[in-house]
Structure 1
């Protein structure tokens, strides 16, 4: 079972005027352990950040679902409340869950979340939508998938044909 980890990556970036600024970016990854999450950050972010960087924090998050969409600018943390009936005890049970959704603005996040939840059989209430500093979500890939992706290259003309 994988868990979601919120990871902060610190690094120095040289600006156009020659000054160096310390930056801290936030990412979300799913991993088996805290150590795995940190290793995944070095693997994934190492391809985009030039120079040295450090995974300065990694915290487990309780997202029940993460919805990503192509070409979105932001990620929003959504809190959803719903009430179910415990049939054995005959009492109502309130549940609050966190969902992360990629969207371009608050209205887009609300619309996408509503669309994703339309198949729920119990009534729900969206009680909070908050923009997060998350820049990107890295979903788990098996070691075979990671190695395969690195070894992919375009076929030369006539290659692979018998």
Structure 2
């Protein structure tokens, strides 16, 4: 099963003022393995890199879903708690889940999240919405190859 894997790339980046600065930037890739995610990010960045380049870390995330908005230039991580009732003890049980929301602002992230959850039958509460430092998120490449 594919999962969202964060890959941190360290490389020499050309800044807007023309100077070159060593940066470490996080990317997210939909992949079956850490190896596949690392290869995907490396492939995507290759045309833009000159000089030193290395992958500094690769970690799996707990992101369950992504709500896309192509007009958004940032990614926000929303931590929600699904609320269920334990019928034996009659107590509420909260199960945390993480959803990534693409948006241009905090308010837009909230609105996009609410739109994405519309129609959900489960009870939930938003625990936190935080802006991430993700530079880009790469969806899985769908194979059109039948052979």
* Aligned mates of 1:16, 1:63 — CA distance in 2: 32
Q: RMSD of the TM alignment (CA)?
A: 2.2
Q: Which residue of 2 aligns with 1:108?
A: 108
The C-alpha deviation readout for 1:64-117, integer Å capped at 9, x for no partner, is 101221121110010011211345776532111011010001000000101111
Flag the structure with larger Rg: 1
Instruction: Give 1:2 shift.
Output: 0.4
Counterpart for residue 78 of structure 1? 78
* Cα distance in 2 for residues equivalent to 1:19 and 1:92: 55
Match of 2:61 in 1: 61
Corresponding pairs, count: 145
Query: Structure 1 unaligned runs (5+)?
Result: 146-162
Q: Residues 31, 16 of structure 1: CA spacing in aligned structure 2 closer, same or farther, 3 A cutoff?
A: closer
**Structure 1 position 26 matched with structure 2 position 26:** yes
| Residue segments in structure 2 that go unaligned for 5+ positions in a row | none
- 2:12/2:50 contact within 8 Å kept: no
Q: Which position in structure 2 is the counterpart of 1:156?
A: none
Taking structure 1 as reference, are residues 127 and 15 closer, same or farther at Cα in structure 2, changes over 3 Å only?
closer
Q: Distance in 1 between matches of 2:74 and 2:97?
A: 20
TM-superposed CA distance for 1:58, in Å, is 1.0
TM-score (norm 1): 0.79
- 1:2-17 mapped onto 2 (5 Å cutoff): 2-15=2-15
1:17–1:141 CA distance, 2 compared to 1 (3 A): closer
Residue 20 of structure 1 and its aligned partner are, at CA, apart by: 3.2
- Name the CA shift for 1:106/1:91 in 2 (closer, same or farther; >3 Å): same
